[in-house]
Amino acid sequence: MGVVAISETLGSLGGEIGRVLARSLAYEFADREIIAKAAERFGEGVMELAHVTEERPTLWERLADTKRHYLASVEAILFAMAARDNVILSGRGAAFLLGGISHVLRVRITAPDGVRAERVAHQQGLGRDAALALVRQADREQAARIRFLYHVDWEDPLLYDLLLNTQRLSPEKAARLVQGALQDPSFHPSEESRRELADLALVAQVKAALMLNPITRPLQLHLTSKDGVLSLGGLVEQEEQRQVAQEIAGRVPGVARVLSEIVVAPTHRRMPV
């Protein structure tokens, strides 16, 4: 059993490799499926979820951070799928969100710009120059999105366990390399790493649930989980906010108990003299 998190560039064959690997291992493969599941579960729009995870952040998003609840929905589904094991997760920040889990194999898949442009040109019926421009634009937008969301440079090789250049690799050959890496005991889940991932998944579910409620959405709460016991901390201005946050957290499946350290600290405005 295991989890593979793929970060791919446009035209790199990352999706094809993930699907070949999934068939070989009888694993679940999830790419756009992550967005579809998030939209279904949390009642969000597919297009909005795709935008927040795939495109360059707009200036308004950078300043206002208005899309946090979309991102929370996607991350909740991603963590939930990872916690079930036997899954290959492509994109959606999986390689960065799951970077702290020891048994997750993080794979970077790319190829030279010209090679990727030829593939894109063939797939989409574009001229070579147009395809090359599209590939480079996609790289810039994805790099900007990853930097904005996760504060990392997605081209940093130290973020990954395995880097594949598919210039001379077919999807089948590349999948065999990934499958070989999965055989290393380092990427076999332990009881400790399973519990760690389960706790992170639970926090992500609660965070998404809090984001859905207009009362708790603006709150800056600190969430941690240990074996299903969820701790909530932070400052709120109203008792209602504290109570609603606790109630929402307690209703999330998997939460055994809620420990609330939320402090109600009303904001006192100075009265005019």
The answer to whether the beta carbons of residues 201 and 80 sit under 8 Å apart is yes
Q: Are 248 and 207 in contact (CB under 8 A)?
A: no
Query: Does residue 64 have a pLDDT over 50?
Result: no
Percentage of the chain lying above the pLDDT 90 cut:
59
Give the pLDDT of residue 57: 52
**Residue 30 exposure: Cα atoms within 13 Å on the Cβ side:** 27
Residue 220 burial (10 A CB sphere; 0-12, 13-18, 19+):
exposed
- Structure confidence at residue 266 (pLDDT): 80
- pLDDT (0 to 100) of residue 212: 83
**What is the architecture of the domain spanning 3-187?**
3-Layer(aba) Sandwich (3.40)
Distance CA 120, CA 117 (A): 5
**39, 45 in Cβ contact below 8 A?**
yes
CA-CA distance, 242 to 99, in Å (whole number)? Answer: 32
| pLDDT cut 70: percent of the chain above it | 84
Please state the domain extents for the chain.
3-187, 213-264
pLDDT digits (tens, 9 = 90+) for 95-132: 998 988 999 999 999 999 999 999 999 999 999 999 99
Counting runs of H as helices and runs of E as strands, what totals does the chain give?
11, 8
What residues have CB less than 8 Å from 100, skipping those under 6 apart?
196
Q: Which residue would you say has higher pLDDT here, 183 or 44? A: 183
* Two structure tokens written together for 70: 């979309």
| pLDDT, tens digit (0-9, with 9 covering 90-100), for 137-193 | 999 988 988 888 888 999 999 999 999 999 999 999 999 999 999 999 999 999 999
Helices (H), 125-238: 128-150, 171-182, 191-212
pLDDT at 17: 96
Whole-number Å distance between alpha carbons of 9 and 122:
16
Mean pLDDT of 7-13: 94
* pLDDT band, very low/low/confident/very high, at 60 (cuts 50, 70, 90): very low
